[in-house]
């Protein structure tokens, strides 16, 4: 067997998000989000599923924290639902909504678990979307107002902060491909959204510094690692475009103060431009302290002029796939983390990594061996990354429990804990106990 020992201060955790687990969608003064609207639009979400009940964590969070204590994690990544805090987006503060998160954060701290907060995990107040969404500076200013409410309430209690989860999903999956809320299918709209959220990110970081808020702040891009099908320049360029739209499009403005010119030029060919106003790039490039990285899979891509705006086609190479159809290929994480070094050896946390394995209960157990295998492969790569001297400081498995997987609804299960959506009974899977052992030992044992 092989033993991979992790650093003594390495953070072990799990991750969730407000709309995916909370439920109580019409309780506590919560306003309507774009995902409430999208899920109620016929054909957008599998089976017409929505987040009205989800895992009911709004009422069951103490039970969830007991599961976290049993698992042995020291870090828990979650998100706050903006519509609970300021229901109409930029109006009055809903104290009842804020108090729910005060109770939750206090309970986490009481349990000895470090809160790792995402301010925005996709549940935009609908009123702001109705007025132009992230492409309207009103939304940018509203986000800063919301962020400052949270900063002031939780400074001293929360020390790890993320502004946005997966900006590529917020901008391009949701506004160019139309697969997530609000479901637009327009490149210029997507570019406007991406720029708006970047300005909002920068302004929030400036507020964080000005207010002297405790801890470290950053952002969490999702990775789309790709390798060329052939050695041809066209296939390599197709990969470069695919990787860069998820990463460089957001991290170049933050770390370099400018967009990647090759992609700006590519989009200009398609008639789309970035709506930069005076001072925007200086705001966006306000220095940050950490990055969250979300990794699930990688692709083998080739140039194909018919393959969407990037003309980059991901090929089915016959790899083992998870039940959501994503190839299991952990080496993309290693390659990506070295790619990321062009921004410097910045502090990085894996804020999402996990497998969709839809095993169900059998005799009271869930023998999700495929999920264990997925985690073994990816944690081995993480040890390799750390061994190369990269500042990878922690790992949060997606997800603590099965939850609402966006357009896939509840059919796709990423949890270490099984959720029966009728009874809401939580049942730890075999992978939960495997991960519990890794955390307890702070080492990974690869069985021969």
* Site residues, ligand JSK (CB under 6 A): 17, 20, 165-166, 173, 177, 179, 222, 224, 294, 296, 352, 398, 405-406
The distance of closest approach from Cβ of residue 295 to ligand JSK in the complex, given in angstroms and rounded to an integer, is 9
Q: Does an H or E element contain 63, and which?
A: helix 57-71
CA–CA dist 55, 60 (Å, integer): 8
285/403 with CB nearer ligand JSK: 403
180/429 with CB nearer ligand JSK: 180
CA–CA dist 399, 352 (Å, integer): 8
Query: Nearest CA to 397 among 445, 346, 336, 355?
Result: 355
The distance of closest approach from Cβ of residue 324 to ligand JSK in the complex, given in angstroms and rounded to an integer, is 8
Residue of 352, 405, 430, 445 marked catalytic:
352
45/283 with CB nearer ligand JSK: 45
191-222 in b/e form (b: 16+ CB < 10 A) is bbbbbbbbbbbbbbbebbeeeebebebbbbbb
Which pairing describes strands 443-446 and 2-5: parallel, antiparallel, or unpaired?
antiparallel
CA–CA dist 211, 205 (Å, integer): 10
Q: Tell me if residue 314 is catalytic.
A: no
| DSSP for 301-348, written as a single string | EEE-TTSTTTTEEEE-----B-TTS-B--THHHHHHHHHGGGG-S-EE
Q: What residues contact 64, with CB distance under 8 A and at least 6 apart?
A: 21, 55, 57, 400, 401, 426
Residue showing the smallest CB distance to ligand JSK in the complex = 224
The distance of closest approach from Cβ of residue 388 to ligand JSK in the complex, given in angstroms and rounded to an integer, is 25
181/379 with CB nearer ligand JSK: 181
The distance of closest approach from Cβ of residue 228 to ligand JSK in the complex, given in angstroms and rounded to an integer, is 16
CA–CA dist 395, 438 (Å, integer): 12
Which two tokens mark 441? 């030992």
Cis before 392? omega within 30: no
State the first-to-last Cα distance of the chain, in angstroms, to the nearest integer.
5
Contact between 372 and 430 under an 8 Å Cβ cutoff? The reply is yes
User: In terms of DSSP H, where are the helices of 79-215?
Assistant: 82-85, 95-110, 126-130, 137-154, 167-168, 174-175, 187-210
Reduced DSSP (H G I as helix, E B as strand, rest coil) percent helix, strand, coil of the chain, to 5: 45, 20, 40
113/224 with CB nearer ligand JSK: 224
The distance of closest approach from Cβ of residue 408 to ligand JSK in the complex, given in angstroms and rounded to an integer, is 8
78/406 with CB nearer ligand JSK: 406
The distance of closest approach from Cβ of residue 309 to ligand JSK in the complex, given in angstroms and rounded to an integer, is 10
The distance of closest approach from Cβ of residue 84 to ligand JSK in the complex, given in angstroms and rounded to an integer, is 17
12/296 with CB nearer ligand JSK: 296
73/444 with CB nearer ligand JSK: 73
413-to-9, 70, 326, 354 alpha-carbon distances in Å: 30, 21, 13, 10
- Residue 131 burial (CB count, 10 A): 15
- Residue 46 burial (CB count, 10 A): 14
Q: 3-state secondary structure string, 83-103?
A: HHHCCCCCCCCCHHHHHHHHH
CA–CA dist 172, 175 (Å, integer): 5
135/221 with CB nearer ligand JSK: 221
Residues noted as catalytic: 352
């Amino acid at each position: 067997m092989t033993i991979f020992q992790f650093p003594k201060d390495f953070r072990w955790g799990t991750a969730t998000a407000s709309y995916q687990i909370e439920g109580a969608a019409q309780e506590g003064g919560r306003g309507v989000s774009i995902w409430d609207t999208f899920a109620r639009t016929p054909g957008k979400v599998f089976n017409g599923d929505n987040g009205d009940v989800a895992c009911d964590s709004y009422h069951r969070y103490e039970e969830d924290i007991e599961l976290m204590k049993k698992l042995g994690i020291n870090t828990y990544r979650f998100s706050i639902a903006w519509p609970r805090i300021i229901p109409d987006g930029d109006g009055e503060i809903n104290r009842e909504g804020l108090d729910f998160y005060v109770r939750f954060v206090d309970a986490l701290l009481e349990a000895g678990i470090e809160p790792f907060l995402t301010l925005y995990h996709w549940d935009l107040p609908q009123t702001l979307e109705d007025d132009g969404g992230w492409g309207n500076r009103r939304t940018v200013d509203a986000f800063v107002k919301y962020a400052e409410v949270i900063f002031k309430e939780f400074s001293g209690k929360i020390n790890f902060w993320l502004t946005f989860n997966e900006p590529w999903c917020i901008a391009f999956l949701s506004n160019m491909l139309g697969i997530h809320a609000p479901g637009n299918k327009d490149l210029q709209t997507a570019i406007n959204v991406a720029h708006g959220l970047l300005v909002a990110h920068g302004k929030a970081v400036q507020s964080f510094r000005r207010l002297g808020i405790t801890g470290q702040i950053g952002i969490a891009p999702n990775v789309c690692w790709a390798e060329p099908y052939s050695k041809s320049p066209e296939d390599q360029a197709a990969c470069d475009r695919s990787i860069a739209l998820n990463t460089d499009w957001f991290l170049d403005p933050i770390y370099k103060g400018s967009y990647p010119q090759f992609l700006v030029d590519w989009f200009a060919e398609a008639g789309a431009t970035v709506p930069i106003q005076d001072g925007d790039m200086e705001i966006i490039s306000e220095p940050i302290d950490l990055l969250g990285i979300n990794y699930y899979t990688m692709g083998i891509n080739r140039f194909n002029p018919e393959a969407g705006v990037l003309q980059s086609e991901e090929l089915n190479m016959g790899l083992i796939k998870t039940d959501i159809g994503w190839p299991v290929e952990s080496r993309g994480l290693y390659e990506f983390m070295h790619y990321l070094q062009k921004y410097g050896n910045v502090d990085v946390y894996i804020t999402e990594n996990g497998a969709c394995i839809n095993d169900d209960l059998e005799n009271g157990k869930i023998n999700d061996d495929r999920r264990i295998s997925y985690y073994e492969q990816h944690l081995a790569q993480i040890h390799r990354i750390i061994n190369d001297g990269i500042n990878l400081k922690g790992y949060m498995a997606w997800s603590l429990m099965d939850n609402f997987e966006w357009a896939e609804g509840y059919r796709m299960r990423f949890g270490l804990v099984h959720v029966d959506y009728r009874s809401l009974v939580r049942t730890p899977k075999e992978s939960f106990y495997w991960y519990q052992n890794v955390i307890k030992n702070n080492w990974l044992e690869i069985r021969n």
